[in-house]
Amino acid sequence: GENVEQHPSTLSVQEGDSAVIKCTYSDSASNYFPWYKQELGKGPQLIIDIRSNVGEKKDQRIAVTLNKTAKHFSLHITETQPEDSAVYFCAASTNNNDMRFGAGTRLTVKP
């Protein structure tokens, strides 16, 4: 089955800097890649997703890139703010019913 690895496990940046989180996947048939943000005591919330027919997608300060050949995708957050502090999860899915998640990255944005 699919295996998703996520790096780094923790990331600390200064407010205003950029943050990058990287994930690799093993199943070349994976075709849907969502990113979730999880705040303390809450469930994960989708922040951006990308399908395999697209190489990059942006939504304001958030962007995701996908390299199908290398089987990796990345989350980019620009102009980070303290409220961006949370745990971020990447995921990969072939048929979207067996979605595999990365282990998570705890992002801390220092004011």
Partner 1 sequence: NAGVTQTPKFRVLKTGQSMTLLCAQDMNHEYMYWYRQDPGMGLRLIHYSVGEGTTAKGEVPDGYNVSRLKKQNFLLGLESAAPSQTSVYFCASRAGLYQPQHFGDGTRLSIL
97 binds partner 1 (CB under 8 A): yes
73 binds partner 1 (CB under 8 A): no
Size of residue set near partner 1 by CB under 8 A: 26
CA 5 to chain centre: 11
By CB under 8 A, which span of 11-19, 54-62, 73-81, 101-109 interacts with partner 1? 101-109
34 binds partner 1 (CB under 8 A): yes
89 binds partner 1 (CB under 8 A): yes
Question: 12, 26, 28, 96: which one contacts partner 1 (CB under 8 A)?
Answer: 96
Pairing of strands 105-110, 10-14: parallel
Of 18 and 45, CB closest to partner 1: 45
41 binds partner 1 (CB under 8 A): yes
43 binds partner 1 (CB under 8 A): yes
Nearest Cα neighbor of 73 from 62, 81, 64 is: 64
How far is the C-alpha of 70 from the C-alpha of 9, rounded, in Å?
Answer: 21
